[in-house]
Each structure stands twice: as structure tokens, then as C-alpha cells.
Structure 1
Amino acid sequence: MTKTLSHIVLALIVFIWVVPFVALVSTSMRSEVAAKTSGFWTSFTPTELGHRFATHERGGTEPILVMRGNILERINAETSGYEVSGDVKSILIKTRIADPENPGKTKLVRKLVPAGETMDVRGGAFVFDTNGDFTWTFDQATAPKPKNLDVFIDQDPAFGADAYIEVLFDNKNVPNALISSFIVTIPATIIPITIAAFAAYAFAWMQFPGRDWLFVIVVSLMVVPTQLAFLPILQGFSGIASWATALNQWLTDCELTDSCQVASKSFASLWITHTAFGLPLAIYLLRNYIVGLPKELLQSARIDGASHLQIFTRIIVPLSVPALASFSIFQFLWVWNDLIVALYIGPNNSSDLVFPIRLQKQLGTFKDQLHLLNASAVISMIVPVVVFLSMQRYFIRGLLAGSVKGG
């Protein structure tokens, strides 16, 4: 019973995580019309969608008695990217009929004409089949003007990469945001894990006054809310920027080019902030892992004359790869997906915005263009997924070792 329940819970968790991802990907690969008019769950089965097509091109039509064509071919000729195919169900036609309530007068009605039924279009008999073939017949030779008709098609599933092409190549904001996110995330992952590795080794194997109390203080910093630290951080960066501006004015001729002002919000401020927020957890995880390594190995290295730096670089770091990788995943995912820190501490320049902020701003830029919003969201997810999959073999091993070993 317990095993069955655990399987049910696991399946539920997988379902909760997989369905939104499938929704994002499927919607991003659909056409704009399909994304607006039907849910993602209909993208894998034929769905009835509405289209508008013109019976023929404008100008130069010679008088004819019969015009033949294909509705699907006309729609695909007027649109690009997603080929429309399926069964043509009906056409919405506007016509005037006698008004039974007002004798001698007519009224405008709209009705759906199914395949095979003849309808009057500009004085001619228009009839179509489910495969899209239509025939437009006139009593006498005439040169009809093109007629726009609304048609409903039981449309086959169609997927394409048009939304990704538009987001990545037609809109420079998304590529800029990707570059900015990499500029922020990579240093904000490497810097804290490097500092934390040295600190963890010191807390685990080096003796100095107040070591245990200092470790307790570092670990207790994990409970400090991020929002609580924003005000002193902003004040500190503003003070540094003012000091740097004054120094710039004193040392250079920046007044001539109006370039004296040093921004208080920049990529460097994000690196420092993310490093400060990530260090307590990193030191805690790595210290718990390093302290569990065999003492005999380190004692043998000390007897052979190895210094602390040599022990750290040649023994500790190679043996700590699982713990380093597990924290790298945590830090990378946190920094990459961070919105609030980047919003308050990061640069305000439009070309330097990181991806989460750019994605949030696209809610107003793309409005109801769900396929473009979802394409941007999928792009933002690809990098963390690749990082996690490439380092997942170290993930569980590093976390378990850091949680059960202690000193």
C-alpha cells in the first residue's frame, strides 16, 4: 500500500511539472490564430479553426462563366509558416432574405453553409467540397471582383518554429537579454563557489580562534530574508557610485564628454549581491562534505610536506567535485531565474536587462501573442535544463554526502 501511494504521489508530481512544460512548448510552436482560439490540449488533434480567404487575386480577370479553385491553396498562398490542411466544414455567408415581420422588406442574416450546398456569392452559384475544391458559376460571362469569405476548417495539427525565429532574429531584445543573463550568471556562479571552497576547507581542516562561532554566524546568515537586505545594499552601492563619480571627476576630464556619472546599478553590483546571498549555503554544503573526507589522506599529505594550498588544489578540489557541482546547479538556476534582485540591483538600461525582466516586460510588448511569450519562456528554460542534465550525475551524490557527513 505504501509503495503504491508513493508511486501515485510521484506520478502526480511528474504530471504537475510536465503538463505546463508541454503547454509552453506546444503553444510556442503553433500559429498565432491557433494559440489564440484553442487550448494547447487541442494542438495534437484536429481542431476546428476559422480562416479568411479571397476567391482570387485582384485585377485582370477576364469574363468567365466558371471559376474553379481550392480554399486550402488560397489560404496557404496568403499566409506563411504554417500550412493549413484538413476538412473544410462550412463557410459563413452574409445574405439578405425576405423579412417575414415586415412584408416587402429584407433583412441581413448570417448562416453557416456546409460543404456541398450551393450559396449565392456576387450573383453566382458558389459550392465547395470538404477537400477545399470550389466552383463559382455564373449565368453569363462576367469578371467578378474577389470575395473574402470566412471558412471553418477541421484543421490538422501544424507546428513550426516561426515564433522562435521572430523572437530570436526579428526582435533584438531577447538575444540581448540572453547575453546579459550569461554575463550575470556565469561570474555569479563561479565567484561564490570559489570563495566558498576556500572557506569550507578552512572551517573543516584549519585551526584558528573563533572558528566554530564564525561558522555558526555564516550559517545563520541563510535565514536573513533577501528583501531585508535590499535597502542597505542599495545605500552601499549608491555611496560607492557617488565616491567613484567624484574620483572620476578629479582624475579625468570627464566633464568634457559628460561621462563622469558612475552607475550604482550594474553587472558588477549583481555579481557582488548574488555572491553575498549564495555564500552561506555554499560554505555550509561544502564544509559538511569536505569534513567527511578521510583524515588519513590529508595527514599523509601533510607528512609528505604538502602545504594547505597544495592539499586544497590537488586533493580537496578533485574529491569535492560532486559537492561543487550540486551547488553550482543551485546557484546557476537561482541566478538565471532571479527577477527581484535583478529588478532592484541590476542595470536599468534596456539593452542590459536580464532575461527574467525582459520576459516580464514582454507581457506588455506581445500582449495577447501567446506563441511569442511562450517561445521566450521556453528559450529561458533551455539553458537551465541543459545545465541540470549535464551535471545531474553529481547532484544527488553531492547533496547526500553533504547532509549525512559531519564533523
Structure 2
Amino acid sequence: MDGMAGQKSTLVWVVNICAFLLVLLWTIPTLGLFVSSFRDRDQIANSGWWQSFSAAEQTGFVRTGTDDDAVQEGGLYVIEGNVTEGDQTLVAWGTGARDPARFQPGDTTEIEDGWQLTVNADGSYRLTSPEPFEMRRGERIFTTTEVPPKFTTGNYQRVLTAEGLGRAFMNTLTVTIPATVIPILIAAFAAYALAWMEFPGRAILTAAVVGLLVVPLQVSLIPLLRLHNEIGIGKGYLGIWLAHTGFGLPLAVYLLRNYMVGLPREVIESARVDGATEFQIFRRIILPLSFPALASFAIFQFLWVWNDLLVATVFLGNTREQLVMTGVLRELMGSKGGEWEILATSAFISIAVPLIVFFAMQKYLVRGLLAGSVKGG
């Protein structure tokens, strides 16, 4: 018995450690995304989020002034300027791309016959020549600088004040709420029939539902859109509601059917003996007992539809009046998608509503997912 108890204790520790590692695996990237949403654009491009609380090194180059900027001081022609901006601190500098950190602040070097270049610790440079300068483009000075940590709320201000975001938020709610409720209503009836009603072909229908789970929605987008156009639905809210309903039904039916199969048979049989109709059993017994499974699917469907861009683009359109939030945020990132600070900020803004839904219903999630697998047949 002691050995069995010891084995059980070890197994519990293994499970707890694995659960902790999984949580950590998801939390670290989320933390990085959150930190990046407050970082300056230049710092995001030059250092990772884990370096955001320490000074970061940046490399680059600036050009000196040209002969038009030169002034004569005694027998020398002088061009002056500064290679740093803001609160940058110069670490090293150079005059060639092969060795951009060759010199230390305060050093002087000769870059051409008689041309002397000095770059000081404060970033100021002085280029001198005994003869007039003849250059249309300034000389390049490569710099290595340290920049202190910089955080800003400007990223959030830019996203939250973006043109059309409020309208897009309402469009997303208009799409998401019906596209979550309609599949639940249809799937609940279908799941009850597959779980508790005897009729020919029930096993085939159940197998078909399982098979539809692996069909990628991308293969049906264009045929479904053509069907909508042929029957007069076109692009609009009705079309996208029906599309999301069709894409979500296989998972909904499968999840709810597995859960309903595990409900106590005695309760249902007793209700039938007492003269209850199938609809009364479904409404008064099955639905209340199946609420955890209904909530589990509602969470999945809400998250999927809220974060969707592909289906919304195909079935709703790309005009300013039709864009959902993911469409507006995509436009903010630009055509090349290189504005990482906007991406990080948009991610946290867009997950605000799904997080509220998840935490409001998360107590039903695990129970709804696992109950069918434990009890079901």
C-alpha cells in the first residue's frame, strides 16, 4: 500500500509539473506580446522584449553635411553636426561598414588626404579640411549607441483612435453573437436526436459528423459563396451567419452528442414513462443538464468568430462599412505587416472581449469537454 501511495504521489507531481510547464509555455509569449505593445517602434526592431528593461544597443549611420554646410575657421574648412538623437549615448563609431565600431568616442581619424574627423562622447562631430570640401553627399559615420528603455502608450492611442474602429467593433459583435447562438440551437436538437432517439441511419449520421470535423473550411469558401449568390443571399450578415453556422455545426454536434450520451438514462426513461414528449424531455431535462457542454462550445465558437478574418472577408466584404475589427487592424499594420508595435497592441485590444467571455464561462469549459469522454458510449 505504501508503494502504491508513493506511486500515486509521484504521478500527481508529474501531472502538476506538466500542467505548470504548459501554463508557462503559453504565458511567456503572452507576456512578451504585452511588453512589446508598450515599446517604442525602433527598440522593437533592434532588440527582443526580454531586453526591454535594460539599455539596448542600436547601430546605424548618419551623413555629415556637404560643402554647402562648411564654414571657414582660420585656415580650415569645418563641418559640424551630431550623430545622436534624443537620449542616445554613443558607444563606438566608424567610417566603414566592415568595421562600424572601430573608434571610441573622442578619437580622431583621417578619412581622406587632409580630412580629419572627430566624434565626441556627446555625439558631436567635427570634420575639417585645409581645402574647400567638394562633395554632394556627406561622409557616412557609422554609430553604435545605447538607448535607455522607453515605453509609451502611443501605440494604444493610435489603435483606439483609428478611423472606423468603433464601427468595426459593432460589426464584429453583429457577426459574432448570432454566429454563436444559431449553431448552438441547431446542434442541441441534432445532438439529442443522435444521442437518445432511435431512427434508421443514426450511426451513419454520427460518423458523417465526425468526418466533417476534418474537412478544412478553405475548400468550401468559394463554392459556398457561389451558392449564396445564386440563391440571392450575396454578401451580407445573413450569409456570414449561415457560413459560420455551417462551419461550426460538426464540432457542436459532436461535442454535445458526446455529453448528452453520458447523461443518466434512468432520468430520461422515467420521464418517458410519465408521459413526457421528446421535446419536453429535451427542454426540461437535457438542456439544463447540458449547460456545461453548451458553454464550452459557446466559448470555442465565440473565440473563433471574433478572431476570424478569412470568412469575414469572403462573405461580408472589404468596404469601410463592412470591415470587422480584424480587417481594420490589418489595415493599420500596413501592406508589408512590419509594424510590430501595432500588431502587439492590436492583439491585446482584440482579445479584451473574448477574455471576458472566457473567464465568465471557464468554470464550465473542462467539465463540458471531459464529461462526455468519461461517461459517453
TM-score, scaled relative to structure 1: 0.66
Cα displacement (A) at 1:324 = 0.7
Deviation digits for residues 249-288 of structure 1 (CA, Å, limit 9, x no counterpart):
xxxxxxxxxxxxxxx2222211101111111221111112
> Are residues 316 and 3 of structure 1, via their aligned partners in 2, closer, same or farther at CA, if it must alter by over 3 Å?
closer
Structure 1 residues 91-106: aligned runs within 5 Å: 102=113, 105-106=114-115
**CA 106–192 in structure 1, closer or farther in 2 if over 3 Å, else same:** same
Structure 1: which 5+ residue stretches go unaligned? 51-73, 76-83, 122-149, 245-263
1:186 match: 177
Does the Cα contact within 8 Å between 1:89 and 1:154 map onto a contact in 2? no
In 2: Cα distance, 1:302 partner to 1:100 partner: 98
Change beyond 3 A, Cα 1:90–1:324 = same
Note if 1:369 corresponds to 2:361.
no
Q: Deviations over 1:116-153 (max 9, x none)?
A: xxx799xxxxxxxxxxxxxxxxxxxxxxxxxxxx9966
Structure 2 match to 1:333:
303
Secondary structure class of the residue paired with 1:352: coil
User: What is the CA-CA distance between 1:89 and the residue it aligns to?
Assistant: 6.6
The amino acid across from 1:18 in the alignment is T
Q: Aligned residue pairs: how many?
A: 319
Q: TM-score, normalising length from structure 2?
A: 0.71
Q: Residue 143 of structure 1 aligns with which residue?
A: none
- 1:381 partner amino acid: I
What percent of counterpart residues are identical? 44
Q: What is the rounded CA distance, in whole Å, between the counterparts of 1:365 and 1:373 in structure 2?
A: 13
Over 3 Å counting, the alpha-carbon distance change for 1:11 and 1:280 in structure 2 is same
Match of 2:7 in 1: none
| Counterpart position of 1:166 | 158
Relative distance call for 1:238 and 1:153 in structure 2 (3 A) is: same
Instruction: Give yes or no for the alignment of 1:111 onto 2:103.
Output: no
* Structure 1 range deviating more: 184-193 or 337-346: 337-346
Mapping 1:263-342, distance limit 5 Å? 264-342=234-312
Is the Cα contact below 8 Å between 1:29 and 1:371 reproduced in 2?
yes
Matching residue within 28, 35, 43 for 2:52: 43
CA distance in 1, matches of 2:125, 2:251: 75
Distance 1:401 1:2, change over 3 A: closer
Where does 1:30-109 land on structure 2 (aligned, <5 Å)? 30-47=39-56, 102=113, 105-107=114-116, 109=117
Q: How far, CA to CA, are the matches of 1:294 and 1:10 in structure 2? A: 31
Give the CA deviation at 1:353. 1.9
1:67 aligned partner: none
Q: Distance in 2 between matches of 1:228 and 1:101?
A: 65
Q: Per-residue CA shift, 1:61-90, capped at 9, x if unaligned? A: xxxxxxxxxxxxx96xxxxxxxx7xx9677
Secondary structure of the 2:213 match is helix
Residue type at the aligned position of 1:40: W
Matched residue, 1:207: 198
Measured on the aligned residues, the alpha-carbon RMSD in Å equals 3.7
Deviation at 1:6, TM superposition (A): 6.1
The offset of 1:216, in angstroms, is: 2.9
Q: Which residue of structure 2 lines up, in the alignment, with residue 175 of structure 1?
A: 166
Cα separation, partners in 2 of 1:32 and 1:222, compared to 1, 3 Å: closer
Q: In the alignment, what sits opposite 2:327?
A: 357
Residue number in structure 1 paired with 2:221: 230
